[in-house]
Structure formats: structure tokens, C-alpha cells
């Protein structure tokens, strides 16, 4: 992705969730972790903006930062006013991303934050942080696998396009046949017409060396 592309200002922003729910009856549910992902090939910076009037209702930890390509970063959203009067109120937070080099605006997204009365249900009792970390690990592993596969494919493609590649393969086949099929001079039996084609130890050593170099050329990353 390049900073000056046609979708500038409308680049998708990837976050772990677009809805955060707090529970007034459970202090452990007064905070939530949100992950910002960078699937692009450039460094991006992000910034979190609140549409809530005043700064006392929420605290945002790490509200801005820089994310390397194919990496992610967390920020923490903390509800400071879990009172009955705030239950059911939906607040909005806007996340904007920028090209970290040119500082040009790329895109934005919005997440909602709601305070619910009481305690979370059993289905919601599993910490969201664990789910988020698990999701990030899976995404990171998938990204790394795709990069490795792309590198291997590119390497094989480059070797196949080498004009000397057929000659290298042919040379390897010839050396392999010479080492395996032809006996050495000292293994030949006198008067044995089936062993009239022999190779010296020195020649076989040269063929073995060439065969090893061909194997390194073919199988190197």
C-alpha cells in the first residue's frame, strides 16, 4: 500500500472489536483491551478520539502509537463512572490511522462503548483479553506463514527463470550417473568385459563435488 493511492482517507481500519461492553456490577469488566491491526506494508500511526464531553468518564491508555507492518498494538479503555445513571448510554470512540512517514490521513473507524447494569452472563464471563490475544496469535501465525510461503514461491520462480537452470540440472544428472553407475579402476576385474568403462577415484571425487554444488544451487532458499 502506498500513501498516495486512490483510497486515501477510506483505507479500512482493522480492530479486534467494534463494540465494548462494560458491566457496572463487576469491577473486572470496567476495562477492556482493543487491538489495532496493521496488515499493510508500511508503518502506520493511530490515534483514539472520544466523542464524550469531558475527560473524567473514560481513561484511554496508549491512545496513540506506531505500528509496524504486519503487527498490532493494544490500547486499554477504562470506564471511570460505572453508575446507574450511565447504564445503557452508548458512547463512541473514533480511531484514525495515518501514514507514519508522510503523516497523511488514511482511514478511520468507530467503536461503541456501553455500560450495562448488573453482572455479565456466563457466556460473557470469559476474559476478552484472552480471546483477543488468541486471535492476534492466530493472525500473526497466518501472516508469517503467508510470508514464508511467498518467499519460497518467489525463490523457486527465480530459479526456474534462470537460463542456466536446465544445464545445471543436466550436469547434476550426469554426475550422479557417473558416481553411481561406473566402477572405479581398482574395482574392475581383469579380463571382465562388463567393466571396460571405469572412472578413476580422482574423477569420481570431482563428480561428487559438482553434484554437491548442484544440490546446493537447487535446494538453497
- Name the pTM for this structure: 0.54
Arithmetic mean of pLDDT, 15-39: 93
Alpha-carbon distances, residue 155 vs 144, 149, 161, 198 (angstroms):
17, 10, 10, 38
Q: What is the mean pLDDT of the chain?
A: 78
* Most confident option among 43-57, 73-87, 118-132, 146-160: 73-87
Q: Which of 44-53, 119-128, 153-162 has the lowest mean pLDDT?
A: 153-162
Tell which residue, 149, 154, 160, has the closest CA to residue 217: 160
Is the model more confident about 113 or about 193? 113
Q: What is the pLDDT of residues 158-192, one digit of tens each?
A: 555 666 767 777 887 888 787 777 777 654 444 44
Q: Which helix (H) or strand (E) is 67 found in, with range?
A: strand 64-67
- Tell me the average pLDDT across 6-21: 85
Q: Strands 64-67 and 90-99: what pairing?
A: unpaired
Please give the pLDDT value at position 154: 57
Say what percent of the chain tops pLDDT 70: 69
Q: Closest by alpha carbon to 24, among 107, 112, 114, 90?
A: 114
Percent of the chain scored above 90 by pLDDT? Answer: 44
Cα–Cα distance for residue pair 68/164, rounded to 1 Å: 39
The three cell numbers of residue 101 are 512517514
More confident residue, 215 or 88: 88
Q: What is the pLDDT of residue 146?
A: 60
Cell numbers that stand for 92 in this block: 463512541
Give me 80's grid cell. 471511570
Identify the pLDDT of residue 170. 81
Residue 193: pLDDT band (50, 70, 90) is: very low
State the average pLDDT over residues 1-25. Answer: 79
pLDDT at 176: 79
Residue 23: what pLDDT?
95
Amino acid at each position: 500500500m502506498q500513501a498516495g493511492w486512490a483510497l486515501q482517507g477510506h483505507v479500512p481500519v482493522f480492530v479486534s472489536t467494534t463494540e465494548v461492553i462494560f458491566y457496572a456490577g463487576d469491577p473486572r469488566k470496567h476495562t477492556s483491551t482493543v487491538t489495532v491491526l496493521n496488515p499493510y506494508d508500511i508503518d502506520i500511526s493511530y490515534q483514539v478520539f472520544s466523542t464524550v464531553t469531558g475527560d473524567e468518564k473514560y481513561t484511554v491508555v496508549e491512545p496513540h502509537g506506531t505500528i509496524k507492518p504486519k503487527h498490532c498494538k493494544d490500547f486499554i479503555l477504562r470506564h471511570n463512572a460505572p453508575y446507574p445513571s450511565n447504564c445503557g448510554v452508548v458512547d463512541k470512540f473514533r480511531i484514525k490511522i495515518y501514514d507514519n512517514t508522510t503523516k497523511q490521513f488514511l482511514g478511520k473507524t468507530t467503536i461503541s462503548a456501553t455500560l450495562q447494569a448488573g453482572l455479565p452472563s456466563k457466556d460473557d464471563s470469559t476474559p476478552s483479553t484472552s480471546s483477543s490475544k488468541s486471535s492476534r496469535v492466530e493472525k500473526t501465525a497466518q501472516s508469517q506463514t503467508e510470508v514464508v510461503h511467498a518467499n519460497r514461491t518467489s525463490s523457486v520462480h527465480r530459479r526456474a527463470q534462470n537460463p542456466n537452470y536446465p544445464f545445471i540440472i543436466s550436469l547434476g544428472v550426469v554426475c550422479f550417473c557417473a558416481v553411481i553407475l561406473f566402477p572405479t579402476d581398482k574395482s574392475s576385474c581383469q579380463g571382465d568385459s562388463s567393466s571396460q568403462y571405469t572412472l578413476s577415484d580422482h574423477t569420481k571425487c570431482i563428480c561428487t563435488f559438482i553434484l554437491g554444488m548442484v544440490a546446493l544451487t537447487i535446494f538453497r532458499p
